[in-house]
Chain A
């Protein structure tokens, strides 16, 4: 079962369920989390369903590639971390 974990930074704004779900792609895993907390979707994806520019997903330690459709494949035991890119001032 793929496991999905969200950055603590997101917990300031909305619930971030840790998900374990049989997901073939990153998008399937994200959708499983969005089903638990629909509001989370707008924090991770933009109006067009694309990964937000300053949100990064790591799959087993590697940055995901498909920011449009999140079609990156997940293995049966993949660990996904959804993080924020650093910026600020």
Chain B
């Protein structure tokens, strides 16, 4: 559904509708509560919203009527922590990603556990085949105290395949419905590590990963240290050099109809997470990263310190409508594949996620 979108924020979930060729904030849900992620409605109207109540923990709510009414469900929960367990506490900190594929709902969390639900979110099981991997002990937090799964990329051609992006734990892939996992971040580079560990796939910090619908073997990653792309279904990654302004950022989106087309929202660098020159811009490539165009029309070009976080940029199924929202609470829309933008809202709470549907 391309005439509806959702914005998850620190103080509620906001429903956008397309009215007379522009987007309007039509309704709020859970006003005042932090909503860390949502799963947009499916054809039946079923949707999920993950809350992160500051005092009272992570909560999960479901709607069967596209947000008209909500019911609380049992949130994913970690099993009893063994006395000799090392690493982060086995306690749910945040639901950071939600995806549905073939009747299974997947939830990626901080502190790094993947959960699955076979009953549309009513009950959850920790995927122990990943949680029990010894490599998990080497993961570490990126922006949060504990590591987390922020990107879940199903494969449209294989219901048993799933790719995860983990900050900081690289890229993990299953091709047997979670029975086994492989670490597939070869080619990524971590300059925040000692030089001899920079190429270690298990310490990579992909800020966000998206899979191309047009060619599922193509994956785009906005990484802590730059932009990376895979054209062989994560068997290898290669760095895309030459993005204008900066290759630092969090968000990435790819055109569902063109695997060579992707958008990025550059920031200065990891130690200065603001737009270059205090002027917001969007970079787009249409040739797989060989060249980029930079677009600024409609975006603030002075005194702008907005950061578009990892889930803050979305593209519709047609590949021409985009929505982008910042941790400063601004939201912009484009109807021409990112070439020009219009402000949708200027006073939202800090934005965690934007999704069409």
Contacts and interface: CB of A to CB of B under 8 A. Distances in A.
Interface residues of A, number: 19
Interface in B52-97: 53-57, 59, 72, 74-75, 77-81, 89-92
A85 B54 CA distance: 10
A9 B55 CA distance: 10
- For B53, B72, B78, the residue with the greatest tally of chain A CB atoms inside 10 Å of its CB is B53
A48 B75 contact: no
Interface stretch (A27-35, A38-46, A59-67): A38-46
A42 B55 contact: no
A13 B54 contact: no
A48 B55 contact: no
A16 B72 CA distance: 15
Interface string B147-181: 00000000000000000000000000000000000
Contact of B57 (A9, A42, A85): A42
A88 B91 contact: no
A39 B75 CA distance: 10
A47 B78 contact: yes
Residue of A9, A43, A47 with most partner-chain B CB within 10 A: A47
A44 B56 CA distance: 6
Which has the most chain A C-beta neighbours within 10 Å: B57, B77, B80, B81? B57
Interface of B is mostly: loop
Contact of B55 (A14, A39, A47, A55): A55
Contacts of A44: 56
A47 B91 contact: yes
A44 B343 CA distance: 41
B93 to A, nearest CB: 10
Contact of B56 (A10, A48, A50): A10
A9 to B, nearest CB: 7
Contact of A52 (B56, B59, B80, B89): B56
Interface string B309-326: 000000000000000000
Given A47-B92, A48-B90, A87 B54 contact: yes
A88 B349 CA distance: 13
A47 B110 CA distance: 13
Nearest to A7: B55
A65 B276 CA distance: 49
B315 to A, nearest CB: 32
Contacts of A50: 91
A40 to B, nearest CB: 10
Contacts of A10: 56
A25 interface: no
B78 to A, nearest CB: 4
B57 A88 contact: no
Contacts of A55: 55-56
A48 B89 contact: yes
B81 to A, nearest CB: 6
Given A47-B91, A48-B91, 14 more contacts: A13-B59, A13-B72, A14-B72, A39-B72, A42-B57, A42-B75, A46-B57, A47-B79, A47-B92, A50-B91, A54-B55, A55-B56, A85-B55, A87-B55
Interface of A: 9-10, 13-14, 39, 42-44, 46-48, 50, 52, 54-55, 84-85, 87-88
13 contacts: A13-B56, A42-B77, A43-B53, A44-B56, A47-B77, A48-B80, A48-B81, A48-B90, A52-B57, A54-B54, A54-B56, A85-B55, A88-B54
